[in-house]
Amino acid sequence: FLKLGLLLLIVCTFSCKQENKKKETATTEVKEASSKPNIVVIYLDDLGYGDISANGATEISTPNIDKLAHGGVRFTNGYATSSTCTPSRYGILTGVYPWRNKDAQILPGTAPLIISTEQTTVPKMLKQQGYTTGIVGKWHLGLGTGHVNWNERVSPGPNEVGFDYSYIMAATQDRVPTVYIKDGHVDGLDPNDPIEVDYAQNYEGQPTGKDNPELLKMKWHHGHNNSIVNGIPRIGFMKGGETAKWKDVDMADHFLEKAKDYVKNHKKEPFFLYYALQQPHVPRTPHPRFLGASGMGPRGDVILEADWVIGEFIKTLEDEKILENTLIVFTSDNGPVLNDGYFDDAVEKLGNHTPAGGLRGGKYSLFDAGTHVPFITYWKGTITPSVSDALVCQVDLLNSLAKLAGSDITTSDSEELMDVLLGKSKIGRTNLVLEAGQKTALRSGDWILIPPYTGNPINTQVDIELGIADTYQLYNLKTDIKQETNLAVTHAEKLKEMIATYEELRGE
């Protein structure tokens, strides 16, 4: 197998070289190569289906995201692969269901890379098709192979799994190290002030959220009581690296600048940009320009901030005259959560806003709101605006973008749905396996099957129903979007059919 692969690679590299030679002389072919569309994935963190006005929110207005929704395809049945971050990011980048990889679970900032450097990824596939590839924003897929020395080049990481350029935060905004990493190097690090990171124990003499509440600008509710950075207590302990530490309130602007620069620097080549915003994940730290803007507290404010950022980013594509040659996919890594570990008024000031848009559950949940997220495709001049009820999932980007870019690379979990993503077809997936904390459920047509699981049915800290019960749950989303009526007993035939499909897909 390996030998065959190597042979193919050699043949491929050789023929690509030949191709390039031909292109140097034939201008028409050069034009063809550069007319490949740019591809941008705008990935939000914990944004719920109902958090954007395009999906019906009335208490918050997201005009820039709405512009994408109303000018593109707005999917009403778009899914992340998981109800948490790491697994969803694994799914969207590799085209493989995250439940196949036991390491695809919320990772600490010191975790090793969970994507194999041998594995197919969206950026790798696109690179082979002549794309230049970049990531700006949240990574959270692990770095290195075990013990990371943050004072040397950190690898393997995004650059080793397909990204030519990377400007990332390692894990989450609430986890150390609270620094940006550019192509493997901590940005702005003073070599005389090395960084140390540990998730097990604190460094002598360093204050913590637990022991030094007097130093806190934001109070922790659960977890989040280790090292303090910018007055915010984090998960994990960190020492040193003062000059490299990010300023939370500037993070959105900072990533935006990097994303804009990326576009400007690569506008002449076909590029793939994976732009992974940090909002509205905790800690919610709107820039002062947005403080109080939503009347809903910081969670609402950072959604408005994200919407503004997206508007600025699109303006850049427009100014650089490449908006009509760029496919944008907008979605979120998992569903919404209010109190995710800090006291930040998300619950208190929610008012009538419904982050999940009426779906049951939320982040961490096997109920629908965990994975059923905003999903929009936009390509000015190519996509005719529409609303699509087709079932689509982020794991499908691999095969679909391969089709668009002319690659024959596929993975078996991914489905080629390019026509659906472009609004030309309304026939999406039939079946989709969804995941929450390595437990899985099946969506098949309008139906959802959740197998019996043991465990607490509610995460009381975040106040979210997890979808866990000791019997089978069967819901019909068409008639019961809130998943209130379990039809497992009354619809025995359907249940049997769903169990059979589920077991087949899970390989059980």
Binding site for Ca ion (CB under 5 A): 45-46, 85, 333-334
Binding site for ligand NG6 (CB under 6 A): 45-46, 84-85, 106, 140, 172, 174, 222-224, 235, 281-282, 334, 340-341
How many whole angstroms separate alpha carbon 411 and alpha carbon 98? Answer: 13
Minimum gap (Å) between residue 335 Cβ and Ca ion? 9
Q: Based on CB atoms, which residue is closest to ligand NG6, 102 or 321?
A: 102
Q: Based on CB atoms, which residue is closest to ligand NG6, 74 or 224?
A: 224
Q: Based on CB atoms, which residue is closest to ligand NG6, 128 or 279?
A: 279
C-alpha torsion angle, residues 307, 312, 316, 321 (rounded to 10): 70
Q: Which does 235 bind (CB under 5 to 8 A by kind): ligand NG6, Ca ion, none?
A: ligand NG6
For tokens 């999932």, the residue is 393
Q: Which does 247 bind (CB under 5 to 8 A by kind): Ca ion, ligand NG6, none?
A: none
Q: Based on CB atoms, which residue is closest to Ca ion, 158 or 280?
A: 280
What angle separates helix 63-71 from helix 298-319, to the nearest 10 degrees? Answer: 50
Q: Based on CB atoms, which residue is closest to ligand NG6, 282 or 296?
A: 282
Q: Based on CB atoms, which residue is closest to ligand NG6, 74 or 284?
A: 284
Q: Based on CB atoms, which residue is closest to ligand NG6, 224 or 353?
A: 224
Q: Which does 305 bind (CB under 5 to 8 A by kind): Ca ion, ligand NG6, none?
A: none
Q: Based on CB atoms, which residue is closest to ligand NG6, 276 or 390?
A: 276
Q: Based on CB atoms, which residue is closest to ligand NG6, 44 or 397?
A: 44
Minimum gap (Å) between residue 282 Cβ and ligand NG6? 5
Q: What are the strands of the beta sheet with 271-276, ordered from one edge?
A: 185-186, 180-182, 165-169, 132-138, 271-276, 38-44, 326-332, 375-378, 73-75, 386-388
Q: Which does 107 bind (CB under 5 to 8 A by kind): ligand NG6, Ca ion, none?
A: none
Helix or strand run (H / E) with residue 175:
none
Q: Which does 245 bind (CB under 5 to 8 A by kind): ligand NG6, Ca ion, none?
A: none
**What is the β-pairing status of strands 73-75 and 386-388?**
parallel
Residue number of the CB atom closest to Ca ion: 85
Q: Which does 140 bind (CB under 5 to 8 A by kind): Ca ion, ligand NG6, none?
A: ligand NG6
How many whole angstroms separate alpha carbon 402 and alpha carbon 100? Answer: 22
Contact 474, 490 (CB under 8 A): no
Q: Based on CB atoms, which residue is closest to ligand NG6, 263 or 282?
A: 282
Minimum gap (Å) between residue 125 Cβ and ligand NG6? 25
- Phi/psi of residue 310, each to 5°? -65, -40
How many whole angstroms separate alpha carbon 483 and alpha carbon 506? Answer: 23
3-state SS, 422-476, equals CCCCCCCCCEEEEEECCEEEEEECCEEEECCCCCCCEECCCCEECCCCCCCEEEE
Q: Which does 174 bind (CB under 5 to 8 A by kind): ligand NG6, Ca ion, none?
A: ligand NG6
Q: Based on CB atoms, which residue is closest to Ca ion, 260 or 281?
A: 281
Minimum gap (Å) between residue 85 Cβ and Ca ion? 4
Minimum gap (Å) between residue 211 Cβ and ligand NG6? 18
Closest-CA residue to 307 (of 274, 279, 283) = 279
Closest-CA residue to 435 (of 174, 102, 77, 51) = 102
Minimum gap (Å) between residue 363 Cβ and Ca ion? 7
Q: Which does 340 bind (CB under 5 to 8 A by kind): Ca ion, ligand NG6, none?
A: ligand NG6
Minimum gap (Å) between residue 334 Cβ and Ca ion? 5
How many whole angstroms separate alpha carbon 253 and alpha carbon 45? Answer: 16
Minimum gap (Å) between residue 86 Cβ and Ca ion? 9
Find the DSSP H helices in 222-339.
Answer: 251-266, 298-319
**Structure token pair of residue 386:** 């529409």
Helix or strand run (H / E) with residue 138:
strand 132-138
Closest-CA residue to 355 (of 47, 139, 34) = 47
Residue number of the CB atom closest to ligand NG6: 223
Burial of 18 per CB tally in 10 Å (0-12, 13-18, 19+) = exposed
Minimum gap (Å) between residue 352 Cβ and ligand NG6? 25
Minimum gap (Å) between residue 106 Cβ and Ca ion? 9
Q: Based on CB atoms, which residue is closest to ligand NG6, 194 or 223?
A: 223
Amino acid at 139: W
Minimum gap (Å) between residue 81 Cβ and ligand NG6? 12
How many whole angstroms separate alpha carbon 51 and alpha carbon 86? Answer: 21
Minimum gap (Å) between residue 79 Cβ and ligand NG6? 16
Q: Which does 159 bind (CB under 5 to 8 A by kind): ligand NG6, Ca ion, none?
A: none
Q: Which does 282 bind (CB under 5 to 8 A by kind): Ca ion, ligand NG6, none?
A: ligand NG6
Q: Which does 459 bind (CB under 5 to 8 A by kind): Ca ion, ligand NG6, none?
A: none
Burial of 216 per CB tally in 10 Å (0-12, 13-18, 19+) = middle
Q: Which does 162 bind (CB under 5 to 8 A by kind): ligand NG6, Ca ion, none?
A: none
How many whole angstroms separate alpha carbon 276 and alpha carbon 270? Answer: 19
